[in-house]
């Protein structure tokens, strides 16, 4: 399965670098998401902000969420994926890079959405379940 099938039909959530931590956390809670892409005012990807960033860089650092901008605490080193990338190759790349979220861009320009490690693992589980069902059916129907 290609990544475009995963992000297809999803709203591409994002925030801007000039938002405060509180604004971003409220947005994430409202959308029920665990991570969000962060863009500059001129639509350049600047980073990703995740629940892990909240814990490590905000709560543990005793930062004031009303005064600190998201650009100060987001993860700035970001890797991106393409819609045509296979989910298994992407899963392996995310493992190698030790990242949990990957923004997907069409032609390096259009932001399509964020793929999480969880998304990919669930697809892997579904694929394995189908293979098991197929093999089980084959075994039980063989004379």
Domain range list for the chain: 3-140
Q: Is the pTM above the cut of 0.85?
A: no
pLDDT of residue 127: 60
User: If we measure between CA atoms, which residue out of 44, 117, 28, 6 comes closest to residue 36?
Assistant: 28
| Separation between Cα atoms, residue 66 and residue 11, nearest integer Å | 26
The tokens of 89 are what? 């190759």
The CATH number assigned to the domain with range 3-140 reads: 3.10.580.10
pLDDT in tens, 77-127: 999 999 999 988 998 999 999 999 999 999 989 999 999 998 888 875 556
Residue 57 CA to residue 74 CA, distance in Å, equals 8
DSSP 8-state secondary structure symbol assigned to residue 80: -
């Amino acid at each position: 399965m290609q990544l475009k099938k995963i992000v297809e039909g999803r709203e591409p959530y994002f925030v801007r670098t000039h938002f405060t931590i509180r604004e971003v956390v409220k947005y994430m809670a409202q959308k029920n998401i665990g991570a969000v892409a962060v863009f500059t005012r001129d639509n350049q990807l600047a980073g990703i902000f995740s629940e892990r960033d909240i814990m490590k860089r905000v709560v543990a650092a005793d930062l004031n969420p009303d005064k600190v901008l998201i650009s100060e605490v987001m993860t700035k080193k970001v890797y991106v994926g393409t819609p045509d990338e296979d989910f298994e190759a992407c899963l392996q790349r995310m493992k190698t890079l030790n990242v949990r979220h990957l923004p997907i861009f069409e032609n390096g320009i259009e932001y399509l959405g964020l793929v999480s490690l969880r998304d990919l693992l669930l697809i892997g589980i579904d694929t394995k379940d189908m293979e098991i069902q197929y093999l089980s059916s084959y075994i039980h129907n063989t004379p």
